[in-house]
Amino acid sequence: MPKKVFIALGGNALGSTPLEQKQIVRKTAKPIVDLVEKGYQVIIGHGNGPQVGMINLAMDYASQQNIGTPYMPFAECGAMSQGYIGYHLQQAINDELCARNLNKNHGCATIVTQVVVDKNDPAFLSPTKPIGAFYTQQQAEVIQKEHGFHFMEDAGRGYRRVIPSPKPLEIVESPIIKQLVERNIVVITVGGGGIPVIRKGNLLEGIDAVIDKDNSSSKLAVELKADILLILTAVDKVAINFNKPDQINLDKLTLSQAQKYISQGQFAKGSMLPKVEACLNFLKESDKGVQAIITSLENALSALEGKTGTRIISD
């Protein structure tokens, strides 16, 4: 049986504008297809922060211009971003499969994915997930007054809109994704963490929120019984004392070591912490023998071969 690898793509694998993104994903496709060529079954999750913020802002602006554009709820904006990013990614991956004569037995498709959350999740009382563009404090205050959005200062780079980030409970399209993976289709799914929906009896209803893409990727990786969760980011390895003179890059990290470093505040909340936590959840909820790896996109195959990256394993 081929091994299933669930890839969670970081923002560096995408772009902020359509033209930039189309160029970047051409490079992104190559290391992904490397894994297909080596015989892995590949599932891909990705972020959508800049894209969904751009779409939401444009739709909100247009709806106020008296030109007939309706107000677009945030869940619908998330769905638009899944289609937009998925279109570029699947086109680039299919082109790369074709260039290597792998297209006879493999393909790539995007699934617009819904993720069930709890409407009573405490996250709805405290929006924390940044989306969209950066603003000055003055600009943020004007937009907040006009639209009622929440803003937060983001790591010294300016102010960004923040919305709730509830925990994923269920991936609605999981059975369909499983069938596609078994047919050697590279599936692009849980884009932006998935479209947040709540259950109302037997019905689903979208809700304004953004689910962390690493959490959704971890959840779906468990449901699909993936062998490896591969989180690709801007660095080759997880580090402690990051960006300090005594920085130490980690080749391996056990569950207990990771918990200790988390309690010490070693991993930044907006970057490495959710990635490490997603890996821990994957290990705890999966069968024995699985592993999680954090590395850069360029080193994806090398990390799977044990040559680089940070391998996170059970004790």
pLDDT tens, residue order, the chain (315 aa): 789 999 999 876 888 788 999 999 999 999 999 999 999 999 999 998 788 878 888 887 787 787 888 888 889 999 999 999 999 999 999 999 999 999 999 999 999 999 999 999 999 998 887 776 788 999 889 888 887 888 988 767 889 888 899 999 999 999 999 999 999 999 999 999 999 999 999 999 999 899 999 999 999 999 999 999 999 998 999 999 998 999 999 999 999 999 999 999 999 887 899 999 999 999 999 988 899 999 999 999 999 999 999 999 998
User: Count of H helices and E strands in the chain?
Assistant: 9, 17
Q: And the tokens for 227?
A: 């062998």
Which residue matches tokens 């894209």? 51
In Å, the largest CA–CA distance within the chain is: 60
**How many whole angstroms separate alpha carbon 48 and alpha carbon 34?**
24
Q: What is the pLDDT of residue 60?
A: 77
Whole-prediction pTM? 0.90
Q: And the tokens for 253?
A: 């990290």
Topology (CATH) of 13-118+169-226: Carbamate kinase (3.40.1160)
Q: What is the pLDDT of residue 73?
A: 87
Q: And the tokens for 268?
A: 């930044």
Q: Beta 41-46 vs 185-189: how paired, if at all?
A: parallel
Contact assessment for residue 85 and residue 14, using Cβ atoms and an 8 Å cutoff: yes
Q: Is 204 strand, coil or helix?
A: strand
Q: What is the pLDDT of residue 26?
A: 95
Please, what is the Cα angle at 20 between 296 and 217, to 5 degrees? 40
Beta strands in 112-241 (DSSP E): 114-116, 129-135, 150-153, 159-163, 170-171, 185-189, 195-200, 203-206, 228-233, 239-240
DSSP structural state of residue 168: P
**How many whole angstroms separate alpha carbon 199 and alpha carbon 204?**
5
- Domains of the chain by residue range: 13-118+169-226, 127-163, 229-315
* Torsion, Cα of 136, 84, 232, 104 (10° steps): -170
Q: What is the pLDDT of residue 128?
A: 80
* Nearest by Cα to 111 from 52, 51, 6, 185: 185
Q: What is the pLDDT of residue 20?
A: 92
**How many whole angstroms separate alpha carbon 274 and alpha carbon 8?**
12
Residues annotated as catalytic are: 11-12, 129, 213, 275
* Torsion, Cα of 301, 307, 311, 314 (10° steps): 110
**How many whole angstroms separate alpha carbon 153 and alpha carbon 141?**
12
